[in-house]
Structure 1
C-alpha cells in the first residue's frame, strides 16, 4: 500500500510538472512571438515615415549618394530607435547608420530583402556577429515595383524580448519548484486517503441496510476496489429508484382515491377493511382510524351495505344494486361490489364503489313533476278555450251577449296561456344561465318611481295605496330590465293578494355603510297588507307552480312561476331573497343585492 501511495504521488507530480513546463514554454513562445509581431508593425510604420521623409532622387555619383544617405540614416537613427540601412536594387549598401557602407557585403541575398522584393515587406531574426546578440530586421521597397529605388531596412535589438523570456523561465522554474512541493504534499494526502476506501464502503452498506438509499461510496479509483464501489453505488441507485417508484405510485393512487367523488372501500380476503377514501368516510359517517383493520361485520356499517358484502363473499360474483342509507344522513347510493383476483387465481378481497345518486334521482323527480305541472297548467286554459268555442259553434253565436261573454273568456284564457308559455320559456332560459346580465348604473329613485307608475292603474282599480321610500341619490349596478321584472312580479303579487283599500309599500335603503363610504349592499323591502301566507307554505313558495291558494291564484291570472323567476333573477345578481308573512296581516319580501359586481 505504501508503494502504491508513493507511485500515485509521483504520477501526480509528473503530470503537474509536465503541464507547467508545457504551459511555460507556450507562454514564453507566445510572448516572444507577440512582442516580435508588435515590433514588426512599429518598424513598418517607421519605414513608411522615413521613406516619406527622405528624398530618394538625390543626384550625384555613388560616393555622393553614399555620403548623403549615410548622413540621413545617422540623423534618423535616434528618432527611429533602430539601425537604418539603405540598400540599392543590386544589393549594394549606399547608406548605413552604424557602419561604413563600403565595408559592408552585398545584401541582396538577405532573407528580409528577398521577402520585401517578393511581398512588399520582409522581416527576419538572426544573430549579429558585430553586436553579439540577435537582431530583428525589417525591410521595405523604396517606391513601387516599376520605379523601385532600392530597399530601406531597420534593425532593432531583441535583448528586451530575450530578457523578458528569461524572466518568465525563472518565474516558471521557481513556481514549478514550489508547486512540486505543494503537489507532493497534496498527492501524498490523497494517496493516503485512497488506501482506506473499504471503511466508506462498509459504512455505506450499513446505511443501505437501514433504508438510507441516498448514501453512496465516493469512488475515485478504477481498479478492483473502484469496481466494487461502483457495484455498491449501482445497487443503491437501483434500490432508490424502486423505492421512489413505489412511493410515487402510492402517492398517485392516494391522490386519485382522495380526489374521487365516489366512495371507495376495500375489504381484504379475511373480511377486514383495508382501505377507504375521504368520500367513503363522508358517506359512511366514520373516519379511517375507526374502520381500518376491523372485520366488516363488526364495524357498525349500514346493514344494507353489510348484507351486500356478505352476498358478494358468498357468490364471488359482481353485484350492482341501489340502496338507501339512513346514517349519517339519508342518501340513495348505487353500490358496485367486485371480487379482486390477482394473477387470475388468487382471491385478494372485494372492491366496493359507492356512488351517491340522491341528487340525480331528485332531479329526475323534479323533471317529472315539472312536466306534469306544465301539462296540467296548459290543459286547463286549452280545455276552457275548446269548451266555449264548441258552445259558440253549437248555436250560442246567435245570442250576442252570451257570444260576447264567451269570446271574452276565450280571449282571457288565451292571454293566460300566452303568459304561462312566456314564463316557462323565461324560467328555462334563466335556469340554464342563457340570460346574460346587461349590467349598467341604475338610479334607484327614478327607477322605482317609474316602476310604481307602471303599476298605478292596476292599484287604482282596487283602491290600493302605493307607497315608496328611497334614500336620495342611491345608485347600484344591475340589469335594469331584469331588476324591473323582479319588482313588477313582487308588486303585482302584492296588489293581487291585497284586499281593496289596502296598502303596498316599497322601501329601498343602503346597507353596510362604514365611515360615510359607499354601501356594499342595497336592501329592497316590498310589504303589503294582504291575506298573508301560512307558515307551513313559506319554505315552498319559490318552487315552480307552487300555489298557496290554488283557486285564488287561478282567479288572479297567475301562472305559479313568478316567484320562482324572481328567485333565480336575484341569484343571478348575486343577491338573496327571503320572506316574512303572517296570515291576515300581510307579507314582506326582503331582497339584498350587491352595489357593484
Structure 2
C-alpha cells in the first residue's frame, strides 16, 4: 500500500502537521505552565511583602501569640496559599501560620519545609525560591519562597516562608492538554482527508499517464491525456500528449520506411541475409530461402555458418574475419547446377564497430550460361569457318601446284571449292540474319496470306528431297483456308527449315506428317517424323545457336546449326510460339503456334 505515492503524500502531510502541532502544543503548554507558575510566584511575593510583612514586628519574635493573631486574620485562599513565620534564633521554629489549622506550627522548619532555601535565605539574606514536587498533593509541584526578616540592627531574626499550592493550575493545564489533544485529533483527521484529496488530485493524472503509457508500450499510440489544470501536472499532461503525437508521427515514418525497405528486400531478385557477430540470423528475404531451397524452420534453427559453410568454407564467419577485409565475394555452386555469387559486407555502427554481416546472393547461372554460349558461339563460328576455309585453301594450293593441267581433277576440285564457298556464304548469311533479328533490325513485311497454300508451296519445293529418300508425306491441311497476317517469306523460311531437318534426320522410307489445326484464335502447325529423334537432355537446348545433337553428323549433312534459332526468332516476332517433342529412336514433332488475326501496329 505504501508503495503508492498517494499514501506517501498523505503520510508525509500527516507527519508534517502532527509534528508541527505537537511542537506548537508543547511550546504553548510549557509557556502556559511557566506563566501560571510565575503568576503564583508574583502573587505569593505580593502577599508576603504587602500583607504579611507589614503586620510583623521585631517584638513578635518574642511574644509568639501576637504574631499568630496578626497574620491569622489576613484573608487568603487557604487551599492555595499559606504563609509561615519561622524564628531562626530558636532552632528554626515555626511560630505562626496564616492557616490556623496548619500542622507546621511549633515544628522545626528545617525538617518539615525546604531546608535549602531556608538556609540560603537565612545565611545570605536573599529571597530564595524553589518548586518542590509533593507526594501528598497528587504529585503536583508546590511553590516555596523564603524571605528573610531583619531587625533594626540588620540581623536576620526570622524567615517569612510562603507556600503556593499549584494543583488548580495543573488541573487547568491538564484540561488544556485534553482540549489541545482533541483539537489535534480533529486537525489530523481533517489533514488526512485534505491530504487524500490533494494526493488524489496529483496521483489521478499520474495514474492516467501511467495507464496510457502502458497502452502506448503495447503499440496503441492513439492515447491522449485530459488536461484539467495549468500547474506542473497539467504541463506534464501537455508534454505527454506532445510526446505521443511526435512518437506516433516518428513511428509512422519509421514504419513507412521499414515497409518500403521490407518491400524492396523481399522483392529483390537477389537473396539477402543479415547476421550478428555470433552468426545468429537477424533478417533473411524469401529469395535467399528459395535460392538455397531452405525452409522457414531451417532459418529459425540453423546459424549462418551451418547454412553457408557447407557450400563454401570461405564464407564462414571465421574465414571472413581471418581475411581482414570489410567486403568481398565468393562463388557457390549448388547441386542443381545453379551458380550463385555471394557478396558480403560488414555491418558497422556509428562508432565503426562491427556488429554483424550482410551477404547478398546473385544468381549468375544465366550469366555463366550466356558467357559459355558466347565462348561456344565464337568457337563454333571459328570452327565452321575454319573447315571450309582450310578445304578451299588446300584445294586451291593443289591446283596452283599443277593439278590444273588435269581437267577432271581441276573440275572436281573447283566443285569442292564452290560447295565450301556456298557453305561459308550460307553461314555468313545466317549469322547476319540472326544478328539483325537480335537487334530488331530485320524488316518484316506483314500481309495476309493463305496458310494452306503456303504449306503446299513449301512441300512442292522439297518434293525432290522427299523422293530421293523415298519418304511418305502425310499432309493434313485444314479445309477452312486459314488466313494468316504475317511475313509470308519468313514463315516459309521457318517451315522449309523444319521440313529440311525432318528429311535429313529421317531414314529412307520414313514417314513425315504435316497437320494444321485451328484452336480458337490460334493455328497449330505440327510437323512430325519417325526419324532418329532427339535425346531428352538435348531438347531444352535445341534452339540454341550452333547446338547440334550429333555435331559430326550434322556438319556432314551441311547444316550451320543456326536454322532453328532463326526460326524461333521469326515465330516470336509473329507473337507465336515454337516447341518440340521428341523421343530418341522414335521421331520428332515440331509445333508452331501462330495467331490467326494478328494486328500489326
TM-score (normalised: structure 2)? 0.58
For the pair 1:471 / 2:453, whether they are aligned, the reply is no
Q: Which residue, out of 578, 581, 588, partners 1:579?
A: 581
Asked if the contact 2:581/2:590 (under 8 Å) is kept, the reply is yes
Label 1:203 to 1:576 Cα distance change in 2 as closer, same or farther (>3 A): farther
- Offset, 1:545: 2.4
- Offset, 1:293: 7.5
- Offset, 1:280: 1.5
Deviations 1:151-204 (A, max 9, x none): xxxxxxxxxxxxxxxxxxxxxxxxxxxxxxxxxxxxxxxxxxxxx999789646
Q: Which residue, out of 270, 286, 290, partners 2:298?
A: 290
Asked if the contact 1:309/1:337 (under 8 Å) is kept, the reply is no
- Offset, 1:383: 1.1
Mapping for residues 515-594 of structure 1, pairs under 5 Å: 519-528=520-529, 530=531, 532-533=533-534, 538=539, 540-572=541-573, 573-581=575-583, 583=585, 586-594=587-595
Q: Distance in 2 between matches of 1:241 and 1:399?
A: 98
- Offset, 1:421: 1.0
Aligned partner of residue 591 in structure 2, secondary structure: strand
Provide the residue aligned with 1:396 in structure 2. 403
Provide the residue aligned with 2:211 in structure 1. 206
Provide the residue aligned with 2:136 in structure 1. none
Provide the residue aligned with 1:347 in structure 2. 354
- Which structure has the larger Rg? 2
Aligned residue pair count = 393
Extract unaligned runs of 5+ from structure 2.
Answer: 1-200
Deviations 1:418-473 (A, max 9, x none): 00111122223334555465554432222212222232344455555554321112
TM-score (normalised: structure 1)? 0.58
Q: Distance in 1 between matches of 2:468 and 2:352?
A: 85
Mapping for residues 62-81 of structure 1, pairs under 5 Å: none
Label 1:218 to 1:475 Cα distance change in 2 as closer, same or farther (>3 A): farther
Q: Distance in 2 between matches of 1:427 and 1:353?
A: 36
Deviations 1:460-504 (A, max 9, x none): 555555543211122344432221111010122233344566554
Provide the residue aligned with 1:365 in structure 2. 372
Q: Distance in 2 between matches of 1:501 and 1:475?
A: 33
Provide the residue aligned with 1:480 in structure 2. 488
Q: Please, which moves more after superposition, 305-314 or 329-338? A: 305-314
Asked if the contact 1:523/1:593 (under 8 Å) is kept, the reply is yes
Mapping for residues 376-391 of structure 1, pairs under 5 Å: 376-391=383-398
Aligned partner of residue 489 in structure 2, secondary structure: helix
Q: Distance in 2 between matches of 1:500 and 1:257?
A: 60
CA RMSD, 1 decimal: 3.4
Asked if the contact 1:337/1:350 (under 8 Å) is kept, the reply is yes
Extract unaligned runs of 5+ from structure 1.
Answer: 1-195, 512-518
For the pair 1:415 / 2:419, whether they are aligned, the reply is no
Aligned partner of residue 210 in structure 1, secondary structure: helix
Provide the residue aligned with 1:338 in structure 2. 345
Q: Distance in 2 between matches of 1:235 and 1:457?
A: 91
Q: Distance in 1 between matches of 2:553 and 2:295?
A: 53
Asked if the contact 2:313/2:319 (under 8 Å) is kept, the reply is no
Label 1:538 to 1:357 Cα distance change in 2 as closer, same or farther (>3 A): closer
Label 1:338 to 1:522 Cα distance change in 2 as closer, same or farther (>3 A): same
Mapping for residues 162-561 of structure 1, pairs under 5 Å: 203=208, 206-211=211-216, 212-217=220-225, 230-292=238-300, 295-297=303-305, 302-304=310-312, 307-326=315-334, 329-435=336-442, 438-460=445-467, 464=471, 466-473=473-480, 474-498=482-506, 504-511=512-519, 519-528=520-529, 530=531, 532-533=533-534, 538=539, 540-561=541-562
Asked if the contact 1:486/1:566 (under 8 Å) is kept, the reply is yes
Label 1:538 to 1:337 Cα distance change in 2 as closer, same or farther (>3 A): closer
Asked if the contact 2:311/2:332 (under 8 Å) is kept, the reply is no
Label 1:295 to 1:552 Cα distance change in 2 as closer, same or farther (>3 A): closer
Label 1:246 to 1:538 Cα distance change in 2 as closer, same or farther (>3 A): closer
Provide the residue aligned with 2:172 in structure 1. none
